């Protein structure tokens, strides 16, 4: 018998929202861990809000909604609010009832900015790692480190002479190629891109034609009028220069979870400085640690600093002038670290394909940095359902 296609409207629904989510759905485990983490951060949230006044959106709901936006690759807050109108899974995860009103996108964004700082993002990441189910998954002896470029939300046409941006002449002797002061062992160097004619400004004529011949651009003489924190940088020889930042991550080698993250301006020294800052707090434990890294970290200063911290530098050795010798490379652990360290690229790849850090839509090191750290925390959460089953 053929079924009817007639629509019968119902005034009430008697199915609980909790019952509509499959028992085996991976977000159930994620939500349980997130709720425990947010409860542990209650004191941190209280410091950010006044004791009286108009109630804001609950910080717990804000952070759950931000996680949904990352985990499901939702492009903007406006699209997130639209989907939360009809997506029962999103409502359940965030903590909204089936009849609760969804926030206005501008109100959500304004409230979220209060929580979008690196302190809360770091505390959130640390609380995930300290969770009773997550802590046993982590190694406290073997780590890997790497950095990645995060393209800034600024066009090359916004990269204007500093005199045009500040109303003053650039310092004498800084109209060169932008290579001054760069460390010769740096993996990535900032080299000049196409020149720009002084005086051209995008605000005078939107997307106006520009003559890219006759002068050079560098971070010493130019700055972006859209995002002053962004720096002109290129990944290596033959690569184009872009306005970008640099994100850094420290991974434990047992299950490949991110245990620390940092966000800096793009610079040839930034990777090694960030690596030392992230590994130093973990070097206080008894026994030696190992730190795997690629050839960009093969610098005598960096290697010596690690050894002074009681950290064995499992850094990929350069063909010439390497600071790593046979004392390290002959051991079996070195080969293991070199194989496992490449897994850190999975976190960066996830953050740039699923997450929003291929090209951040936020400006400034603070806000973009909080987004990067929060994305690394979301990567850990995305992997936990399978790890906890095992």
The predicted-structure confidence for 331-341, as pLDDT tens digits, reads as follows 999 999 999 99
Does position 203 have pLDDT exceeding 60, yes or no?
Answer: no
Tell me the pLDDT of the chain averaged across its residues. 86
Domain edges within the chain: 17-115, 137-151+245-365
Residue 93 has pLDDT above 60, yes or no: yes
Residue 156 has pLDDT above 60, yes or no: yes
185-197 residue pLDDT tens: 334 444 444 444 4
Question: What Rg do the C-alpha atoms of the chain give, in angstroms?
Answer: 24
Tens digit of each residue's pLDDT (9 = 90 or more) over 367-379: 999 999 999 999 9
Ranked by mean pLDDT, which of 41-50, 53-62, 132-141 comes out on top?
Answer: 132-141
Residue 209 above 50 pLDDT?
Answer: yes
**pLDDT exceeds cutoff 80 at 296:** yes
pLDDT of residue 166 exceeding 70, the answer is no
CATH 3.30.420.10 is right for the domain spanning 137-151+245-365 = yes
pTM assigned to the model? 0.85
Mean pLDDT of 294-298: 94
- Which range among 103-117, 128-142, 294-308 shows the weakest confidence by mean pLDDT? 103-117
């Amino acid at each position: 018998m053929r079924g009817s296609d007639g629509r019968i409207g119902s005034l009430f629904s008697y199915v609980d929202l909790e019952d509509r989510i499959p028992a085996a759905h991976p977000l159930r485990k994620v939500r349980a861990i997130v709720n425990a983490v947010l409860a542990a951060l209650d004191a941190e949230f209280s410091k950010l809000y006044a004791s009286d006044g108009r109630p804001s959106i609950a910080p717990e709901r804000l952070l759950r909604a931000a996680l949904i936006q990352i985990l499901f690759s939702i492009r903007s807050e406006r699209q997130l609010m639209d989907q939360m109108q009809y997506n029962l899974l999103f409502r359940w995860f965030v903590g909204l009832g089936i009849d609760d009103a969804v926030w206005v996108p501008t109100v959500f964004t304004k409230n979220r900015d209060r929580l979008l700082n690196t302190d809360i993002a770091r505390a959130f990441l640390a609380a995930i790692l300290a969770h009773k189910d997550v802590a046993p998954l982590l190694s406290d002896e073997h780590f890997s480190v790497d950095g990645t470029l995060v393209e800034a939300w600024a066009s090359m046409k916004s990269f204007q002479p500093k005199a045009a941006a500040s109303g003053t002449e650039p310092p004498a002797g800084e109209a060169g190629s932008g290579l001054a002061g760069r460390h010769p062992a740096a993996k990535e160097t900032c080299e000049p891109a196409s020149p720009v004619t002084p005086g051209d400004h995008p605000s005078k004529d939107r997307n106006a034609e520009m003559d890219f011949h006759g002068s050079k651009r560098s971070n010493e003489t130019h700055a972006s009028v859209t995002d002053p924190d962004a720096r002109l940088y290129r990944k290596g020889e033959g690569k184009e220069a872009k306005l970008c930042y640099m994100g850094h991550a420290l991974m434990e080698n047992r299950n490949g979870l991110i245990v620390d993250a940092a966000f800096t301006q793009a610079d040839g020294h930034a990777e090694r400085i960030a690596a030392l800052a992230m590994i130093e707090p973990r070097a206080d434990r008894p026994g030696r640690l190992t730190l795997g890294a690629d050839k960009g970290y093969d610098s005598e200063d960096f290697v010596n600093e690690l050894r002074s911290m009681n950290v064995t530098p499992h850094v990929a050795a350069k063909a010439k002038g390497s600071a790593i010798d046979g004392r390290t490379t002959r051991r079996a652990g070195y080969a293991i670290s070199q194989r496992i360290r490449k897994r850190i690229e999975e976190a960066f790849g996830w953050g740039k394909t699923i997450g929003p850090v291929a090209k951040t839509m936020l400006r400034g090191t603070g806000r973009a940095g909080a987004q990067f750290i929060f994305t690394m925390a979301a990567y850990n959460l995305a992997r936990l359902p399978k790890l906890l089953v095992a």
